[in-house]
Every structure is written in structure tokens, then in C-alpha cells.
A and B are shown apart, each in its own frame.
Chain A
Amino acid sequence: MNIKCNINGKSVSFEAEPLDRLLDILRDTLGLTGTKEGCGEGECGACTVFMNNKLVNSCLVPAMHLQDADIVTIDGLRDFDFFTSITQSYEENGAVQCGFCTPGFIMSTIELLRKSNGKVLTDDEVKSVFAGNICRCTGYDKIIKAVRQLLHTNIEIPKRFYE
């Protein structure tokens, strides 16, 4: 089937089988390799992207759901100003090791910033956003610190991430 959708602000169209995974379309068809595959079964969060302003595991999204969808991946974030703050806080807090989980964590971080919208969140609220992201290297502590630091900075998340 032919699919037209919007990926990282650009409209694209491509051929796909109905059950092809969004993850493979991003990585193989479109060459957007920032999104990673850790488990292929919706458990690790390495493949997290925004689809119609919601976090999804791209390994679980079949092509047939993509018609007219609006997708944002890690590869589409680098040029936004707010991304610098996120990078800085992850770097400064030592929240990256092997980095394979990191793009997924960054997507969830954006979701969290969007959710908090200036409010101070409890540790449990913070953790619940990352419940679907697995990291085997860091022990999570430094990721939580990075995210906490971000919650204390005023970050404008662009409109296109809102409904």
C-alpha cells in the first residue's frame, strides 16, 4: 500500500506492507537511524517516537496505521532550541553510557516536560513516565538527576508537540 504521512515536519510517501513496522520504515526506508531497536516487543522503549503527539513504541505500530499520521523522531529534534538544554543536562549529569537507550529516554523526557508544564513533579510521577524505558547501563540514578534538572529550567516545548 502507498502511505502518506508527516515525519519530522516533512510530508513523505512510501510503499509498505500493511504489517510492516514503523520502526523499520523509519530506519530502513527513510534512513532515520536515531531510533533504536532493543527488544522488538514494546518492552524496552528504545524505539520510542511521537505519533500524533503521543509516545508510542514504533516497533509495535504497523504501517496500516500511518496514513496521515504525524510522527516526530529523535532525528527530527536536533534542530529545536530546547534540545540543547536536554543535551546539556544529560551530559552534565552523566546520564549517558552506551547510549543505546538514550534516544528513547529523550523522547520520554520531552513527554515529561510537556506533562509537567512548569509544575513540580514527585519522584514517582517522574518515574512513571519512564516505566517503559529500560536502561541496562546507568542504574537510572543519573537519568533521574538529568530530568530533575530539566524540570527546574524553563523549557519551551514547541507547539507542534501539543494537541
Chain B
Amino acid sequence: MKKNTEIRIDAASKIAGIEKYTRDLHIDNLLYAATVRSDRAHARILSVAFDDDFDWSRITVLSAKDIKNNFVAIIKNDMPYLAKNEVNYYGEPILLLAAENDKILHKAKKHITINYDDLQAFCTLNKAMQSSYANEPFEEIILKNGDVKKAFIKADHIIEDTFETGFQEHVYLEPQVVVAIPDGKTIHIKGSMQCPYYVQNAMNELFMGSETRVDVTQIMTGGAFGGKEDFPSLICGHVALLAEKTGQPVIMSYNREEDIRYTTKRHPSKINAKAAVSKEGNIQAVDMNILLDSGAYTTLSPVVLARAVLTSFGCYKLPNVYIHGKAIKTNIPPCGAFRGFGGPQSLFAMEMLVEKISQTLNMPVWEIKKANLLSLGDKLPTGQPIDYSYGLPQCIEKVLKSSEYEKKYNEFKKYNEKEAKRSGILKGIGISLAPHGCGFTGVGENRIKAIATMEVLPNGQVVIKTANTEMGQGVDTAYKIIVSEALHLPFNDIIIEEKNTSKVPNSGPTVASRSTMIVGKLLFDNCEQILSALSLNNIEFSLQDFKEATKKYFNDHKTLSVQKEYEHPNFITFDEDTYKGYGYPVYAWSANVAEVEIDLTSYQVSVKQFYSAHDVGRAINRQQSEGQIQGGIIQGIGYAIYEDIHLENGQVLNRGFRDYIIPTIEDVPELHVEIVEDAYFNGPFGAKALGELPLVGAAPAVASAVSFAIGKTATKIPMTPEVIASMIEKKNYEY
């Protein structure tokens, strides 16, 4: 590959403010929609009353009674579009209103009274585990390998702790927004979303048996991070139903408060982990019990749990494991997809377990990691051999060197002993190693059978048709680079088709770090088909050759369109019952070193330096790859120390950016990012995945540095000042 530094194609229009996001569209006769929500965590709805003295003539009201197929189609279809008899979380939609402006809606809401009969609510994982919810998990997974019992009997040390991770809110900068535009026959849905086909499928089920047809278009999306993967199906249903009822276009646009309080978030987790360890520090067995707090409905929890289980072994060679995962219902807003998708939770637990081993054995943590590190040819507990595209050792070498890890490790130890009292600052350096499975878990890709299409136009231009969406990560640019490289075409001759379900095939969702590796490869293969149709067998052909060959082709044919469906390499198999086989076709890897300071007066942690190296197979666009890595790291740092959702009886108390703190420019450390390229045979030009990995390794690196500084293993994120205080003063604060 040559052109590795293409400027992203949408940058200029975004800088100038010309790029149109959903709320920037001009739509005539637009109605605005609002949601009337439950203010109980768990209750039966007794009645809904509308004040007689309010003029309802200008308001369209929609309730569960109006919906025939009242479920959001996803995995288990248990979540209704609108609650009918019972609400399961504070904020659950009960009614929809539409009117010509927001002000009337606001007034109307005050004239509706809902009467409830409260039911017992279980709003935390601890409470849910003592209720019937514990016996009916949304999903349960057991992964066994070797003889864990025996290993524990023979172990020199048994080291155990319980690790907790909190909620995380996506804080995409553009809040949720979708619009439905009816034209008599079809309802056209447009909006800020990751997966137009998820929405299309949900709409097909919603309107099953009726005349209504729907098509879905993704509009330029102002960030998503998983937050616009499953959630838009709910609000697209809302606007589609209102549009059907009113015959007019309807927009649903959340403000920040609504977005933060009622949309999906990262699953909180509670993970008990236990290791059998030899006196030399070799981990002989791990027994892990993973609980994910899933909120009120199933959403994507089964798959999030699967990834949590398949990430839990970190980058270590674990001869014996027993991993038991459960996704548990609670009466809080449903949790959903978030960059990393279960990985950040279980990797935090594993990395902190290693931290605890190092502190118990009084050996440097890096020594423990090194002693247990996977080598090329080793097998994961699933039986998956690591025998290709394993760039982790290079990543480690790079970060140890760039961070001067060993030198600082000793310096900071001395500093903390001698200077910390006087300066009031503890210093820490920590290291994390992270894997991230590329593409869908297990048999996911075989099920989806992604399709990508390309069409050559008579003038030699080429149109790319996929359902993969640009949400800031740079996929459109990456696709153009792949095609331009393979067909020797300039950027301007490559056109990206609108992400409209009636125009592009179903290439699967834009999730699971799969867009470049899986769908990018389909485009690459499409290019080969085009070249062979044009009889361009010579690798050195020029743009001129391409144009002439196209002209010749169109003398005899009407169209030149190629299509490719994804086929899994046939040795990559996975058994869903035993969790044995290839959890992922390949893993991407990272090594991370964080330097922190802890202020002994305020107990605030700040990250000063962050060194990171990622093996992404091949960086299709180096600059945007770095940008993804940097952004992911900062989100991971936020997850580790700042971002905290407060719940009271199942009610999210945070209302916006004032009380949900994410890193600002003043909080970011110096970022040192390096890229390692150990090519994957089945990715375009060798590319693997990149989207999620940077976030997965960040929090454990910071937590490792905090553990170093305090001399005690971090067991809980976010490490807010209260948590740090309790670590330092060994007191139990209520947090």
C-alpha cells in the first residue's frame, strides 16, 4: 500500500459546518415528538388520565394500545416500544406525543397523570442477586478448560478478590435524533445511527401484517461508540408509529438530559476472580464469576456477556479455567452496546487479579505478566491457537522502551517512600496488556453473511455500496483508500453510496470492530472481480488503462456490478455450547503504560503520560488510526477515573455535562501512540480491527498505576476521590 495518509473525505465539510446532521435537515410540515415516561422503577400501570381543561386537539397521543407488534426486535424481543401494563425501569416510555412545536408538548406533558401500583424493584446487582431475577439470567455462559479443582489444590497461593466496574455513558456529542417521513406508501426513516439494517429489521417486525413499508437512511452521525447501535431501533419505532398515525413527518430529538438518563449505557459489572498461583508467579488456574448488570430488558446483553467471557483471560496462557458469566436483570434503564462491549469489564478484573498476585508475591507486576504471557503457538482457554498475526510482543517492547518503564518503576518507588509525604503527591506507573477479538463473536459472522456490492459506471467511476456507517471513525475514508489502492483510482472517482437500506445491501452492522476487516475485505475482493471482468491482469496498470478497459467493457455490456458475500475461513469454527473453538477469527492486541499522580489532599488521580502500542494488522489510514486510538484511550481514562453515573432507587440522577464529567482538553495526558502491523491473512492489506481495542486496555493501565502508587490493588472503577480515599485510608466509605 502506498497512500497511507489520505485526508479524511468529510473533514472539510465538517470544519465549515456544511455537513448536514439529522437536525440540520430541512423538512416541511415537521411535527415534534416527546416521550411520557415512567417515574417508577417497577410498577403496574393502573390508569392514565388526561386533564379535561387542556386543549388536546393539537396533540397526537399514542399508547401501547395503538401498537400491534409491541416489541423492539433484537435478540429476545422482550422490550416494548411503549409499556402497557407494567413498567420495569424509571424512564420507561409509556406514551408518545406529537405536535407542531416543543413548547406545546412541554405543556401537554404536565396535564397527564399516570397512576401506579408499585412493585418491588431490584435496582442494583446486589439486590437483584437476592431476588428471583438471579435465577432467570438473560444469558448464562460457562467456559471450562483443564482441571481447575486440581490446580487449586496444588497451588502455592490462592489469590482472590471482587472487582467492580461502573456504568459508562457514551456522550456522543450529537444526542439521539431520528425522523420519520411518510410519503403515502413508505415511511422513510432518517437519523443518527450505526446500523440502518438493525432498524430496518425492527421496523419490518413492528409493521408486520400491515401495509406500511419502511426504508432507513443513516444521516451523518455525530459520534456513537455503541450508543447508536441498539437504541435507535426504539426511537425509530416511536417516530414511525407517530408518522403513520399523523401522516406527517415526525422528529424525535433528545436533549442531553433525556439522553443521559434514559438511553443505554455500558453494563456495570461485579466480577469475582480467583487464581491458583505457583510460588514463582505462574498462574495455574483462574476461576472467575462474571455478573453483568443488564438493566430491565435483554437488549444485547447475551452478546456483551459472550465478549466479556472471551476477553476475561487477557493476554495470558491459562492452562485451567472455569469462567462463569451471567447477565442479570435489574430495574434500571437497559444497558446496551458500548465500545469494548464487555471486554473492558472482564479485562479490568483479570488485569487487577494479576496486580493482586504481584502484590501478594511481592514481585513486580511486569514480571508476573511476562511469566504468564501468551507466546506464538500457545492456545487460549477456548482452544483457539495463537498462531498468526500476534503482534503483542512487539507492542510490549515498544511501550516498555518509549515509557522507560523499568527505570521509572524504580524511581517512583523511591519517590513514594522518600518524597511523597512532603510533596503530597504519590506517583504511579502501571501496565496493561489487552486483546480484542476482531469481528463478531463466535459464529456471528457466519450468521450475518455480510454482503458488499460495487458498481463500475461507464465513465470509469466506481460506486461502493455497503451498509457500514460513518460515525466519526473514518470508515468511508478507509473504504476509499482500499478501493483506490486496489483499482489504482483517484479518490474523486470513488463514490460512496448513501447508507439507505433500499440502495445498499446488508453488510451487517457497524459494530464489533468489523467494518474494515470484514467488509473492507469484501470490497477488496470485489475489486479483484472487477479487474478480472475488465481483463486487467497486469498489476502495473494505470488509471488510463482502467478507464479504457471500462469503456471497452461497456461496449458489450450494460452494467458492471459485482457482489461478494463473506465466507468464514473454514478452519475457523466455534461451538456455542461449550465455548470452544475460535471465539474470533483473530485478535488485535495492545500494550499500555500509564503514569499517574495522586493528590493526597484531594485524592484526585491525574494521568500524566500514556504510552500505547497497538497491533492492528495494518493501518489503512495511519493518521485516523492514531486518532481512533487516542480517542479510545481518553474514553478509557474517563471510565477509569472520572465518569460516574449516580442512581437512586433506579433513577439516574445525572442530568448532563455538569454532573457527568468526561475528560476535557485540560485532563488529557501526553499521549504516545505507536502502531504495530502484524498482518492478518484475511483482512484487506492485512488489516485487523481497531475501533474498540484502545478503550479496552486504558482503564487497567491507569488502575495498575494507581495500585502501584498506593500499594494496594484497585478493585473498583471509576476511581473517584472517594474510592481513592478508601484505598489509602483503608476505610469503607459509602460510595
Contact = CB atoms under 8 A, between A and B. Distances in A.
B59 interface: no
B472 A98 contact: yes
Given A90-B11, A98-B222, A131-B666, A33 B173 contact: no
Contact of B174 (A35, A38, A139, A140): A38
A141 B223 contact: no
Interface string B20-42: 11011010000000000000000
Contacts of B153: none
A138 B630 contact: yes
B662 A134 contact: yes
Contacts of B95: none
Interface in B583-630: 623-624, 626-630
A140 B628 CA distance: 11
A140 B7 contact: no
Contacts of B172: 98, 100, 136
Interface stretch (B207-215, B300-308, B373-381, B631-639): B631-639
Interface in B639-693: 656-658, 662, 664-666, 668, 671
B500 interface: no
B664 to A, nearest CB: 6
Contacts of B634: 139-140
Nearest to A74: B17
Contact of B16 (A40, A87, A135, A137): A87
Interface in B545-580: none
B1 interface: no
B15 A137 contact: no
Contact of A106 (B7, B15, B635): B15
Contacts of A102: 14-15, 17
A114 interface: no
Contacts of A100: 21, 172-174, 222-223, 472
A39 interface: yes
B472 A36 contact: no
A15 interface: no
A78 B15 CA distance: 9
A77 B173 CA distance: 22
Contacts of B256: 38-41
A10 to B, nearest CB: 17
A6 to B, nearest CB: 19
Interface in A65-123: 73-75, 77-78, 83, 86-87, 90-94, 96-103, 106
Contacts of A128: 666
B664 A134 contact: yes
B10 interface: yes
Interface in A1-54: 27, 31, 33-41, 43-44, 46
B91 interface: no
B19 interface: yes
Contacts of A34: 16-18
Contacts of A130: 664-665
A17 B671 CA distance: 47
A96 B15 contact: yes
Given A33-B24, A74-B16, A98 B664 contact: no
A101 B17 CA distance: 10
A144 B664 CA distance: 12
Contact of A99 (B10, B630, B632, B665): B10
A116 B47 CA distance: 63
Interface size grouping (class) on chain A: 35 or more
B700 to A, nearest CB: 18
Contacts of A150: none
A118 B23 CA distance: 38
Contacts of B626: 94, 142
B222 A36 contact: yes
Given A40-B256, A96-B11, A46 B665 contact: no
B471 interface: yes
Given A31-B26, A36-B174, A139-B671, A99 B14 contact: yes
Contact of B671 (A33, A98, A137, A141): A141
B665 A140 contact: yes
Given A99-B19, A127-B666, A133-B665, A38 B173 contact: yes
Contacts of A151: none
A122 to B, nearest CB: 13
Nearest to A34: B17
Interface string B157-181: 0000000000000111111000000
B633 A139 contact: yes
B408 interface: no
B223 A138 contact: no
Nearest to B638: A136
B12 interface: yes
A143 interface: yes
A40 B632 CA distance: 25
B343 interface: no
A97 B174 contact: no
B635 A134 contact: no
A43 B657 contact: yes
B255 interface: yes
B316 interface: no
B666 A98 contact: no
Given A38-B174, A41-B657, A87 B627 contact: no
A41 B175 CA distance: 13
Nearest to B473: A97
Contacts of A127: 665-666
A43 B15 contact: no
A143 B172 CA distance: 17
Interface in B371-414: none
A99 B222 contact: yes
B627 A97 contact: yes
B225 A138 contact: no
Contacts of B520: none
Contacts of A136: 170-173, 223, 225, 631, 635, 662
A98 B255 contact: no
B103 to A, nearest CB: 9
A122 B117 CA distance: 61
Nearest to B670: A141
A115 to B, nearest CB: 16
Contacts of A135: 173, 665
25 contacts: A36-B17, A36-B174, A37-B23, A38-B173, A40-B255, A41-B256, A75-B17, A94-B7, A96-B14, A97-B474, A98-B172, A100-B21, A100-B223, A102-B14, A102-B17, A106-B17, A127-B666, A130-B664, A130-B665, A131-B665, A134-B173, A134-B657, A134-B664, A136-B173, A139-B627
Instruction: In the A-B complex, list the 3 residue pairs whose CB atoms are closest, starting with the nearest.
Output: A34-B17, A98-B472, A99-B14
Interface of B: 7-8, 10-12, 14-21, 23-24, 26, 170-175, 220-225, 255-256, 471-474, 623-624, 626-635, 656-658, 662, 664-666, 668, 671
Given A44-B657, A106-B17, A136-B635, 16 more contacts: A35-B17, A38-B173, A38-B175, A74-B16, A87-B15, A90-B15, A91-B11, A91-B12, A98-B174, A99-B19, A100-B172, A136-B172, A137-B627, A138-B630, A139-B671, A141-B630
